[in-house]
């Protein structure tokens, strides 16, 4: 059975009380092979504001024109990625930061012309990640991809939803676990209580009824994608000490799939 653990974290996971990065290092010491996929939407919005670039969303996705893309790439593949690498290193881990553009990791196509330079993952080339894992590193992946047309790269960078990227990476690696470390205990059901598990049919029902909405939708979709290949997919509260260990030991969060 695979010992790969894909953890999706937000780009702001550096708070004084957050133990997510320590949890990741602890799992590496236990012999698991963590891969981190991160976002950074809040910081991107801050930097766009600094540079007087307007922000607009459609269906929860950031419309990404050429100016926006420059900021997105700089923040995700630069500032956020390297902060996380530095923090993991300070916590005692061995981390290497990459983006989906490195080594052809994420091959993408345009999702919708109305969204600009926003992509959907067409293929994941896992060779770079496997090499890093085999060498004892924690890969830290920024969700930037290269656009492909047919069998050829165009050289155009694309902005990828980090949740979607995490699900695609987990599926391609045949990971044992995919854990979304969030700021909520899990998915709430119709009674307002966190549900321990959610089937694909249950996920559709709660989404149609509006109980799963906004940024939780791509997380659930990514969980279902990864679960289709046998990955145990979990949405859990990353603010709790030891949250990652508890999630994979089936004691917290919502198992999706």
Predicted TM-score (pTM) above 0.85? yes
Question: Which DSSP letter does residue 122 get?
Answer: E
Q: What is the pLDDT of residue 120?
A: 96
Q: What is the pLDDT of residue 17?
A: 55
Host domain of residue 226 = 4-256
Helix 20-29, helix 81-90: angle, nearest 10: 60
What distances in angstroms separate CA 46 from CA 12, 40, 41, 171, one per listed residue?
12, 10, 9, 32
CATH number at residue 251: 3.40.1160.10
Active site amino acids: 8, 11, 41, 163, 219
Instruction: Give the count of domains, the chain.
Output: 1
What distances in angstroms separate CA 197 from CA 190, 218, 223, 249, one per listed residue?
14, 17, 12, 14
pLDDT tens digits, the chain, 257 residues: what are they?
Answer: 589 999 999 865 555 456 789 999 999 999 999 999 999 999 999 999 999 999 988 877 899 999 999 999 999 999 999 999 999 999 999 999 999 999 999 999 999 999 999 999 999 999 999 999 999 999 999 999 999 998 899 999 999 999 999 999 999 999 999 999 988 889 998 888 899 999 989 988 898 888 888 888 889 999 999 999 999 999 998 888 888 999 998 788 999 98
Q: What is the pLDDT of residue 161?
A: 95
- Element of type H or E holding 82: helix 81-90
CA pair distance 99, 78, nearest whole angstrom: 9
């Amino acid at each position: 059975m695979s010992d790969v653990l894909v953890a999706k974290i937000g780009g702001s996971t550096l708070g004084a009380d957050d133990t997510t990065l320590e949890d990741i290092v602890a799992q590496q010491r236990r012999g698991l092979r963590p891969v981190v996929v991160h976002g950074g939407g809040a910081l991107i919005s801050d930097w766009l504001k600094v540079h007087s670039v307007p922000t607009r969303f459609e269906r929860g996705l950031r419309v990404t024109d050429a100016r926006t893309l420059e900021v997105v790439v700089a923040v995700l593949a630069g500032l956020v990625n390297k902060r996380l690498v530095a923090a993991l290193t300070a916590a005692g881990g061995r981390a290497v930061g990459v983006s989906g553009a490195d080594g052809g990791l994420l091959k993408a196509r345009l999702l919708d012309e109305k969204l600009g330079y926003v992509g959907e993952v067409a293929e994941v080339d896992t060779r770079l990640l496997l090499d890093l894992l085999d060498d004892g590193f924690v890969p830290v992946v920024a969700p930037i991809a290269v656009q492909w047309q047919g069998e050829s790269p165009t050289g155009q960078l694309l902005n990828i939803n980090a949740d979607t990227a995490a699900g695609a990476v987990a599926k391609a690696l045949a990971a044992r676990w995919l854990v979304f470390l969030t700021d909520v205990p899990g998915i709430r059901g119709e009674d307002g209580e966190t549900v321990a598990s959610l089937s694909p049919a249950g996920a559709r029902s709660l989404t149609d009824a509006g109980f799963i909405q906004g940024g939780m939708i791509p997380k659930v979709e990514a969980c279902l994608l990864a679960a289709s290949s046998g990955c145990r997919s979990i949405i859990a509260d990353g603010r709790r000490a030891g949250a990652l260990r508890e999630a994979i030991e089936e004691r917290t969060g919502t198992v999706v799939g």
